[in-house]
Amino acid sequence: MENALIAKRYIKPLIELTKQEDLDNLSELLNAVAAAYQDNKFITIMCSNDVSKETKTSLVLDMVAPADSTVANNLVKLMAENGRLNLLPVLAHELRREISRIKRLYKGRVYCNSVIDKGSIDAIAHDLGKKVGATISLEFVASSFEGVRVEVDDLNIEINFSKNRLNAQLIEHILKAI
């Protein structure tokens, strides 16, 4: 959580000083760098005290060099100066979330134990997007959940339609009616 707060300090000026198109490109670039942090060898190099700060900085700068972006280069240099290169994955994630918030474009998942057709998923996404005033895209994820569960993490939305809960509520309603 603390890392996310630190990352947001870097993101705020980026958003204020960078055009939307450049922000999108920077986000893609940072996501590629963040993917490198999934490799154990890369993490070993970045966490090693035997590797100099300059070498670590040079390594990350070489990764962003093909983009020929002064913003990306300056960001990497600034983070290296402050000893925060290990926060690049967090920064990439938070920047992606902030861009989604600005554009009001969100991604979510639909969990169910039976296959749901693409048209139904799109209808759920459209209706949910209308309710929250955003554009939502949902992907289907097969699971063992008895019913349907929709999650949109960045909006903190979780909707459950459980067969067990529906049966319990139906029984309760019938008993009240008697």
Q: Is 8:90 a contact under the CB 8 Å cutoff?
A: no
Give the per-residue pLDDT at 150: 92
Q: Domain span at residue 141?
A: 105-177
Residue 143 to residue 114: CA distance in whole angstroms: 8
- Regarding whether 126 and 49 lie in a shared domain, the answer is no
- Regarding whether 83 and 156 lie in a shared domain, the answer is no
Which of 80, 101, 122 is where one domain is finished?
101
Residue labelled with tokens 């097969």: 142
- Regarding whether 162 and 80 lie in a shared domain, the answer is no
pLDDT in tens, 105-115: 999 999 988 88
pLDDT band of residue 88 (cuts 50, 70, 90) is very high
- Regarding whether 141 and 57 lie in a shared domain, the answer is no
- Regarding whether 97 and 113 lie in a shared domain, the answer is no
Give the per-residue pLDDT at 63: 93
CATH for 72? 1.10.520.20
pLDDT in tens, 17-66: 888 888 999 999 999 999 999 999 999 999 999 999 999 999 999 999 98
Give the per-residue pLDDT at 3: 87
pLDDT in tens, 63-87: 999 888 889 999 999 999 999 999 9
